[in-house]
Structure 1
Amino acid sequence: MDELAEKAGITVRTLRFYRERKLIQPPRREGRIAWYDDTHLARLHTISTLLERGHTLNGIAELAEAFDHGRDVADLLGVGAPTEEEPVRLTPEELAARFEGEVTPENLAAALDLGYLGTDGGDIVHISRRLLDVSSALVREGIPLAEVLQAGARVREHADALAALFTELILRHAPEEDLHRLRPLARSVVEAELSLALDRRMRKRD
């Protein structure tokens, strides 16, 4: 504990307080010896950064609980599953910087429930660089992250229905191994139809 506190730049008393508040995971024990590792040190650095950004200890405790109960990234992506999306590894500090002031326990829980975020040790993994970039861009434009996540949940429902439609269409006329090869065609249809739908919406508002 003394070594961990020294590396984190805090007092042992503060470290004990964080342990009592369950802000960090318990150490690994071998007999009477308690072993801390880099995951504990990373969490302490995260706590310090969030405190500097104005988060309260209660808020940090809620964030920590959400992180600790988040799904493992392997559960989200599937081992070896084919994907066109690029996952992004983030520290909690980088996530907070991406969505300045919007990383609340409620928003974090919503993102975890949606499957946008997974945990990997002390890091967070977002399942899609494109979704991460678009979400942070919308927040920078003044749209609350909570509403962005709500929209994402609705889009997910429609996307699942479209994926089912194209999967059934392709499998009626092609072998299953062609699904991955033909998926860009399905994506192009959806992108074109969405573009046309936005055109119609904008014309109605003029």
Structure 2
Amino acid sequence: MEELARLAGITVRTLRFYRERKLIPPPRREGRIAWYGDHHLARLRTISALLERGHTLNGIAELAEAFDHGRDVGDLLGLGAPTEETPVRLTPEDLADHFAGEVTAENLAAAMDLGYVGTDGGEIVHVSRRLLDVSSALVREGIPLAEVLDAGRRVREHADALAALFTDLILRHAPEEDLRRLRPLAKSVVEAELSMALDRRLRKQP
């Protein structure tokens, strides 16, 4: 405990307080000896960084609970065949920087439920670089992250319906192995229709 506190730049008393508040996971025990590892040090440095950014200990405790009970990255990315999306590894500090002031326990839990983020040791993994960039850009434009995530949930429902439509269409006329080859055609139709739909909406604006 003394070594961990020294490496983290805090006092042993502070470390004990964090343990009591369950801000860090319990150590691995061998008899009467408690062992701390790199993930404990990473968590303590994260707490210090979040405190410097103005987060309260209560807020950090909520984040820690959501983080510890989040989806494991193996479940998040266990999709079988590779996809076109590029996962992104983030520290909790990186995530806070992407969504300044918006990374609440509620928003983190919602992102985990959507399958956008999962945990891998001391890191967070976002399933898609494109979704991460777009959602953080929307937040920077002043749109609350909670509303961005709610929109993502609604888009997911439409996207699932569109994927089912094209899958059924192709399988009625082509073998299953053609699904991957014809995937770009489905994407092109959706992108073109969305582009024209946005044009129609913009023309209706005063």
Q: Calculate the TM-score normalised by the size of structure 1.
A: 0.97
AA partner of residue 175 (structure 1):
P
- Corresponding position of 2:110: 110
After TM superposition, give the deviation of residue 177 of structure 1 in Å. 1.8
Q: Does 1:175 align with 2:175?
A: yes
Deviations 1:63-89 (A, max 9, x none): 000000111111111164320000000
- Map residues 17-28 of structure 1 onto 2, 5 A cutoff: 17-28=17-28
- Corresponding position of 2:101: 101
Cα distance between partner residues in 1 of 2:186 and 2:45: 44
- Corresponding position of 1:125: 125
Cα distance between partner residues in 2 of 1:178 and 1:138: 36
Q: Calculate the TM-score normalised by the size of structure 2.
A: 0.97
Cα distance between partner residues in 2 of 1:37 and 1:175: 51
Unaligned stretches of 5+ in structure 2?
Answer: none
Cα distance between partner residues in 1 of 2:7 and 2:70: 27
For 1:176, what is the secondary structure of its paired residue? coil
- Corresponding position of 1:140: 140
Unaligned stretches of 5+ in structure 1?
Answer: none
The runs of 4+ residues in structure 1 deviating greater than 6 Å are none
Cα distance between partner residues in 2 of 1:78 and 1:185: 25
Range that drifts further, 31-40 or 168-177: 168-177
Range that drifts further, 104-113 or 172-181: 172-181
Percent identity (aligned): 86
- Number of residues paired by the alignment? 206
- Corresponding position of 1:83: 83
Cα distance between partner residues in 2 of 1:17 and 1:170: 60
